Amino acid sequence: MNLIDTSKRTVGVNFTPAGEASVILWAPLLKNVAINVVGKEKLPLQQQEYGYWELTTNQIQPGDRYKFVLDGENEFPDPASLAQPEGVHGNSEAIDITNFTWTDAQWNNIPLADYILYELHTGTFTPDGTFASLAEKLDYLKDLGVNAIEIMPVAQFPGSRNWGYDGVFPYAVQHSYGGARGLQQLVNICHQKGIAVVLDVVYNHMGPEGNYLGTYGHYFTDKYNTPWGNAINFDDAWCDGVREFFVQNVLMWFRDFHVDALRLDAVHAIKDFSAVHILREIKLHVNQLTKETGRTHHLIVELDLNDPKFINPLEEQGFGMDAQWIDEFHHALRVSATGEQTGYYSDFTGISHLAKTYQDAYVYDGQYSPHRFKKFGLKAENNPGQQFIVFSQNHDQVGNRMLGERTSQLVSFEMQKLMAGAVLVSPYVPMLFMGEEYGESNPFLYFVSHTDTDLVEAVRKGRKAEFAAFHALGEAPDPQSEDTYNRSKLQWNLIPEGQHQVLFRYYQALISLRKTHPALRQLNRQQLDVVSNEATNTLLLHRWHENQHVLCLMNFSNTTQTITLPTYAESWQKLFDSADLQWSGPIGSPNTITSGISISLQPESLVIYSTTQPTIS
């Protein structure tokens, strides 16, 4: 496999240092191609090898708007467009993406093991729903203790309201958010404040409206199906141009936008039986970019396969992804907290599976899965803790509920605190979902703003059919309605009030504790013991680093429970207690405890003890 040029973008319209426009289009289906710049003459492109068309000209300037003319007839936007100010059906805009003054030369990425992630949706995070207004909230996030934000997809989608997974221009930054310049400015400010930026990207499908890729070339294949239609062509005839298109996209985010990490959506839906899997090829190119620039970049995947091959190193014939989301931790935690066992939750027994995921990351690593009707998963024995990202909620787990209820609307205040603690004491990278840190009460609903009326109706019908069994709860909110979108926005006015303010301070304190206590900060999965009790719904997590040890005692039941302490050390000092009065709890546990005794845990509570008396070498 030959590495492509990692130093610059070589698809679409780009500008040379001399000010000329370099136009490169992959369109193997076409007989002739021209570029029609608004207010100027059409300019023909010259056919090259392997389906590429090229043009170098001084007749195109930054800010010009254009479309490609295909076979002398129809005009379509540029598949590698950097800006779609007129929407997904309108003209593309030429941008000199390298013409930005960065001030982050001293910045280098935070080690993945130190990330405190915060997932957010640009449109609903602030009233204005823009990158600029997001930047104004960075001090708030820094005060919370967050050092990395994960932004849901920003690739141009139809209209101004969408989760982002209906994007159809992978290179164009959503215009209503602030476009390419707005994103560059946001990343620059984040780095000034010591915050890493993770961007969610979608390489397993394209959205339905404004998707013109198939007009240009063999971007899709009917060899495979995905939940969203034909798969992207990573291994069928003419796949080379498709693979380069997406590899270049990865490199652009890192090189031209200084993004620190990408979260690749649902990579289990990427179908590729090539000798070199597309994820492995992406990793090889990112490694080359890092070698050239000295900047470290992370690749994080959403994966529903429990297959460590995806996160194993290249030298072990893995795909080399740096980390993955662990939905199974969420599911085990949710069942422990709520008892809900419908749908995919039916695979999880609660507290015993939560204990297993603390120990093994994957709950299913070879056992029979009743929900899947088959044995599922492999053990991830040699993968360090920083390769797994855990959470008590995220956009999917909230937004895929019919009414979009956040955890704050499903469990008690005490249980919210316990679930937060369960995530933040884990030997994995923690992620919060926007608003959870103060108990946001607004839902996070599914919303779109398609312009195709038939598509809008199909989405409405699909949403209603999906939740037909839940008719007793009422109708699924209309995804197309602007009200559905507005109801999903954060209510910043809640933060100083009552329990919202208490919960915010609680998250602050827990995050600070994780950062400053070595036994919690070091993500060594080997230095960990965990014991669960299904009868009492309690769990004891013991973690240590060198001579420092912590005991994390959790009671997921709604009654006081007694737990017997192990004999790791003679005495333990209390570090943190969710039942303490300062967190509006009922009553705190003793400040000092002795090993081997029994301790009463308040309902739905977490208490953390520490010792520096080593008994384990």
Write out the catalytic residue numbers. 265, 302
Three-state secondary structure call for residue 72: coil
Whether 267 has a binding-site annotation, put simply, is: yes
| The amino acid at 552 | C
Whether 268 has a binding-site annotation, put simply, is: yes
The pairing of strands 229-232 and 169-173 is: unpaired
Task: Extract the tokens encoding 414.
Answer: 């005490």
Residues 6+ apart with CB under 8 A from 540: 530, 531, 532, 551, 552, 553, 554, 563, 565, 566
Look at the block and give the residue holding tokens 């710049």.
Answer: 37
Q: Report d(CA 485, CA 90) in Å as an integer.
A: 24
Q: Report d(CA 353, CA 336) in Å as an integer.
A: 9
Whether 266 has a binding-site annotation, put simply, is: yes
> Rounded to 5 degrees, what angle do the CA atoms 200, 203, 207 make?
90
- What HEC string does 251-292 produce? HHHHHHCCCCEEEECCHHHCCCCCCCCHHHHHHHHHHHHHHH
| Residue 65: half-sphere exposure toward Cβ, Cα within 13 Å | 12
Q: Report d(CA 156, CA 146) in Å as an integer.
A: 27
Whether 145 has a binding-site annotation, put simply, is: no
Look at the block and give the residue holding tokens 């080593």.
Answer: 614
Given a contact cutoff of 8 angstroms between Cβ atoms, the answer to whether 6 and 251 are in contact is yes
Closest CA to 79 of 158, 169, 180: 169
Residues 6+ apart with CB under 8 A from 221: 230, 231, 232, 233, 235, 236, 239, 271
The DSSP secondary-structure symbol of 157 reads: -
Task: Extract the tokens encoding 235.
Answer: 């291994």
Task: Extract the tokens encoding 496.
Answer: 């100083």
Whether 400 has a binding-site annotation, put simply, is: yes
| The amino acid at 601 | L
Given a contact cutoff of 8 angstroms between Cβ atoms, the answer to whether 164 and 121 are in contact is yes
| The amino acid at 183 | L
Whether 284 has a binding-site annotation, put simply, is: no
- Burial of 501 from C-beta contacts in 10 A (0-12 / 13-18 / 19+): middle
Whether 397 has a binding-site annotation, put simply, is: yes
Whether 399 has a binding-site annotation, put simply, is: yes
Binding residues for substrate: 263-268, 327-331, 395-400
Binding residues: 263-268, 327-331, 395-400
